[in-house]
Copies of this chain bind each other. A is one copy, B any other.
Amino acid sequence: MTGTVLGVAGVGLIGGSIALRAHAAGATVIGFDRDAAALAAAAAAGAIEATAPSLAELAQMCDIVAIALPVDVTAEVLATTPELDRPELVFDVASVKAPIVAAAAERTHFVASHPLAGRETGGFAAADAALFDGCVWALAPARDAAAQARLERLIATLGARPLVIAAADHDRLVAVSSHLPQLVSVALGAELAAAGDADRRVYDLCGPGMRSMLRLAASDAALWAPIAQANATSVAEALEALAAALQTMAGGLRAGDLAPLLAAFENAHRALPFTAPKR
């Protein structure tokens, strides 16, 4: 990426990882973040070479701008920052795409995208140049074909695999593939807390299975609440379908009928081969 000036707005887990990998690939990276400490950490790590005082000024300085902000903030800045029409490519990384595409309707070189990468810990401290290695990186078809092609090349440079998918399809599917497991982990953690309030010994009886199911629950509510809100109908449908399946399983157990449980195992085992990471 030598010769490319890349702006990164929001140097948290995703933005910081983009900055680290693009810097390693030869790009000149400029950062913008409302959090001065995050910018300082990114600069100290060598991820960014300069900072911009605002998103509008970042847009004036760069060939490409990555917007790595929470979904609601991303929508807002895309709608209200006409300076973002100057770079050849502007893309976001939010987990919900349809509201972003709608908010960016005026933006000329914008491409909506979403890397299927993440960790339960956020902030630049968790950023990693290898975060995207082998991941799928979804992007919505863009009006500006050149900008879309440039993002597809950038995604490959960052180590990921581009997958072009309509924003509405993306949102419907990630409700199941991403938002559902996140919220299930949280709901499971809340059930454990309730059990722990009644009898602390339940914590002693948590083994590696429960711990792996609670890894996602450590995530930040401030990050996930806007995601769930932005994809509310599809997420609600996914939660309700899982709740119904759990009730069917419970009803079977109460009636001495293991068929729902066995069918769930069989169906789950059918899905597992397709969820392995492709490298």
Q: Can you list 7 A-B contacts with CB-CB less than 8 angstroms, sorted by A residue number?
A: A173-B205, A176-B195, A185-B213, A221-B261, A221-B262, A221-B265, A239-B249
**Quick check: B246 and A213 within 8 Å, CB to CB?**
no
Inter-chain pairs besides A117-B208, A196-B271, 15 sampled, C-beta below 8 Å: A119-B208, A163-B201, A173-B205, A177-B206, A178-B210, A181-B209, A184-B188, A187-B246, A187-B268, A189-B268, A190-B263, A192-B271, A211-B276, A217-B269, A221-B262
Interface on A for B, CB 8 Å cutoff? Answer: 116-119, 135-136, 138, 163, 165, 169-170, 172-174, 176-178, 180-196, 199-218, 221, 224-225, 228-229, 232-233, 235-247, 249-251, 253-254, 256, 258, 261-272, 274-277
Q: How far is the CA of A263 from the CA of B275 in the complex (A)?
A: 30
**Quick check: B205 and A212 within 8 Å, CB to CB?**
no
Question: Given A169-B201, A268-B189: A209 and B178 within 8 A (CB)?
Answer: yes
**Quick check: B205 and A191 within 8 Å, CB to CB?**
no
Q: How far is the CA of A268 from the CA of B242 in the complex (A)?
A: 19
**Quick check: A202 and B217 within 8 Å, CB to CB?**
no
Partner of A239, one of B217, B224, B246: B246
**Quick check: B206 and A216 within 8 Å, CB to CB?**
no
Min C-beta distance of A194 to chain B, whole Å:
7
